[in-house]
Amino acid sequence: MSSPPLGKVSGVRVLVIGTGGREHALIEALSRDPRVTELHAAPGNPGTAASATNHEVDASSGESVAALAAELGADLVVIGPEVPLVLGVADAVRARGIAVFGPSAEAAKIEGSKAFAKDVMEAAGVRTARSEIVDSPAIIDAALDRFGPTWVIKDDGLAAGKGVVVTADRAAARAHAADLIESGRPALFESFLDGPEVSLFCLVDGETVVPLLPAQDHKRVGDGDTGPNTGGMGAYSPLPWLAEGVVDEIVDTVVRPVAREMVRRGVPFSGLLYAGLAIGAEGPAVVEFNCRFGDPETQAVLGLLESPLAEALHATATGTLADLPPLQWRDGAAITVVLAAENYPATPRKGDVITGADGPGIYHAGTALDGEGRLVSAGGRVLNVVGVGDDLAAARADAYAKLERIKLPGSHFRKDIGHQAL
C-alpha cells in the first residue's frame, strides 16, 4: 500500500460499512480524530446520520462497496460486520488501491470457518475447546455422551452468538442440535471451558499485535445470566478482576502465535482479531476467534480510547502498525447496556416510537425513521447506551441514568451489567 502514514496528513475521508451500534460507536470515535474531515456510513442508521453521511449500499457486495469508496474518494474504509469480510468485501476494496481496515476473505475464515480456526490454533499450539461437527440426527446421542455435563452447541455457520446454547439440560441440548440439523445446518459440539470470559480485541497487521483494553460481554438475556443467549446484552471494560499480566499472556500465548501461523500459511491477518477466551485455572483458553470488532464490547472500549482512531485503523490497514505510537486510554471504566425490543431475542416487536435517545454515548443498533420521520425500533437490539466514569460504579451510574431518559414501549435491558465485577 503506497498511501502516506495518516499521522502526516489531514482531510481524511473515512467510509464505515455496517448498520449497528458498533458502527455508530466507531463513527463517533472517528469523528474525534482531527484528521477526519469527512465521514460516510453505508448503509448506516439514523444515529450515524448525525455525524456521517449515510449511503445505500449492499454491504455484502464487494463491487458495490468498492465502487462507493472510489466515488467518495475514501482514504480509509472500515468494515464492521463479519459477513462482508467473509464474503471478500475487503479484498474488492483493496483491489482498487484503497486502504481498508478488515481482513481478506481468506483470513476472515478465522471466524467464518470453525475448522480453519481449529486448524490454525492447533498448529499455533493455542489452548481451545475440543469440538466435533454433528450433521446427522442419528449421531446426536453418541455426541451428547462424549460431551457434557454442560453442553455447548453452536450453529457451525455465522450466527452472531444467537445459534449458541450452553446448557446442563441434556434434553435441551439434544433439541437444539436436532433443530439445527433439521434446518440443514450442522451442529458444532464443543467441550465447556470453565472460567470467566474475556474479549480481547487486537489490532493485527501480519505479526504485529496491539491489544485494546480487555472487556467482557453479557450474552444471556436476563439478569444473573439467565435465559437464552443473545447477540450481547451489555459489556464493560476494563476488567478489574483480571490479574495484571494476563493481557500480555493472551497476546504472547494466543494472539501472536495465531497471527504468526496465519502469516506462515500465506493468509496474513490485517484488521481486528477478536479473541474470545475463558480464563480457567490453567490459564486462558480460546472459546472463539472473530475477524472484527465485537458488539457490544466495542462501544465500551472505544469510550475509553484517547488516541486518534483513524490513525490506528489506517496504520493497521497499510501495514505500518509497528510504527503506531502506544495507544492512550483514559483512566476509569466504561459500560454498554443494550436496550432491547419487547420479545427479544425470540421475535422482537418492531415499529415502536423511541424518545429520549439523543446525546453522547447513545448508539443506534436497530432503529429506523418511520413515514412521519419519527425514530422507531427496527430490530431486536435497539440502542446501546454507554456510560463512562472514574470507576465501574460511576460508569454504571452514568449508563443507567441515560437509560432512564429513554422511552421505548415494551423494551427491556439488563440491570446488572458489570455488577459482578464490583
Is the CB of 290 or the CB of 411 nearer to ligand GLY?
A: 290
Q: CA 198 to CA 177: how far, in whole Å?
A: 26
User: Treating both helix axes as pointing N-terminal to C-terminal, what angle do 114-124 and 105-112 enclose, rounded to 10 degrees?
Assistant: 90
Q: How far is the CB of 319 from ligand GLY (least distance, A)?
A: 26
Is the CB of 21 or the CB of 268 nearer to ligand GLY?
A: 21
Q: CA 408 to CA 376: how far, in whole Å?
A: 9
Mapping DSSP to helix (H, G, I), strand (E, B) and coil, where does residue 83 land?
A: helix
Q: Which amino acid is at 217?
A: D
Diameter over CA atoms, the chain:
62
Q: Which stretch binds ligand GLY (CB under 6 A): 1-9, 13-21, 31-39, 288-296?
A: 288-296
Q: How far is the CB of 292 from ligand GLY (least distance, A)?
A: 8
Structural contact between residues 403 and 415, judged by C-beta atoms closer than 8 angstroms: no
Q: Tell me the Cα Rg of the chain.
A: 21
Side by side, the strands of the sheet bearing 53-54 are 53-54, 36-43, 12-18, 76-79, 99-101
Is the CB of 232 or the CB of 271 nearer to ligand GLY?
A: 232
Q: How far is the CB of 234 from ligand GLY (least distance, A)?
A: 10
User: Number of C-alpha atoms within 13 angstroms, CB side, residue 218?
Assistant: 27
Is the CB of 46 or the CB of 232 nearer to ligand GLY?
A: 232
User: Number of C-alpha atoms within 13 angstroms, CB side, residue 394?
Assistant: 7
Which residue's CB atom is positioned nearest to ligand GLY?
294
DSSP per residue over 92-114, as a string? Answer: HHHHTT-EEES--HHHHHHHH-H
Size of interface with ligand GLY, in residues (CB under 6 A): 7
Q: Which of 21, 163, 211, 294 touches ligand GLY (CB under 6 A)? A: 294
Task: Give the bridge partners for 17, in sequence order.
Answer: 42, 79
Is the CB of 196 or the CB of 356 nearer to ligand GLY?
A: 196
Is the CB of 232 or the CB of 348 nearer to ligand GLY?
A: 232
Q: Which of 205, 295, 352, 398 touches ligand GLY (CB under 6 A)? A: 295
Would you count residue 112 as binding ligand GLY (CB under 6 A)?
A: no
Would you count residue 23 as binding ligand GLY (CB under 6 A)?
A: no
Q: How far is the CB of 173 from ligand GLY (least distance, A)?
A: 21
Is the CB of 12 or the CB of 215 nearer to ligand GLY?
A: 215
Would you count residue 205 as binding ligand GLY (CB under 6 A)?
A: no
Q: How far is the CB of 297 from ligand GLY (least distance, A)?
A: 5
Is the CB of 102 or the CB of 232 nearer to ligand GLY?
A: 232
Question: What is the chain's percent helix, strand, coil content, to nearest 5?
Answer: 30, 30, 40
Q: CA 85 to CA 79: how far, in whole Å?
A: 7
Q: Which of 290, 299, 316, 320 touches ligand GLY (CB under 6 A)? A: 290
Is the CB of 28 or the CB of 288 nearer to ligand GLY?
A: 288
Q: CA 58 to CA 174: how far, in whole Å?
A: 37
Is the CB of 232 or the CB of 380 nearer to ligand GLY?
A: 232
DSSP per residue over 246-307, as a string? Answer: HHHHHIIIIIHHHHHHHHHTT---EEEEEEEEEEETTEEEEEEEESS--TTHHHHHHTTB-S
Mapping DSSP to helix (H, G, I), strand (E, B) and coil, where does residue 353 land?
A: strand
Secondary structure element (H or E) that encloses residue 82, with its range: helix 82-86
Would you count residue 418 as binding ligand GLY (CB under 6 A)?
A: no
Q: Which of 18, 46, 161, 163 touches ligand GLY (CB under 6 A)? A: 161
Q: Which stretch binds ligand GLY (CB under 6 A): 3-11, 37-45, 73-81, 294-302?
A: 294-302
Q: How far is the CB of 29 from ligand GLY (least distance, A)?
A: 17
Residue matched to cell numbers 496504520: 315
Is the CB of 161 or the CB of 387 nearer to ligand GLY?
A: 161
Cell numbers for 220: 444471556
Contact string 230-269 vs ligand GLY (x = CB under 6 A):
--x-------------------------------------
Q: CA 395 to CA 230: how far, in whole Å?
A: 23
The count of other CB atoms within 10 Å of the CB of residue 41 is: 27
Structural contact between residues 196 and 418, judged by C-beta atoms closer than 8 angstroms: no
Q: How far is the CB of 160 from ligand GLY (least distance, A)?
A: 6
Mapping DSSP to helix (H, G, I), strand (E, B) and coil, where does residue 288 land?
A: strand
Q: Which of 190, 217, 311, 398 touches ligand GLY (CB under 6 A)? A: 217
- Residues engaged in binding ligand GLY (CB under 6 A): 161, 217, 232, 290, 294-295, 297
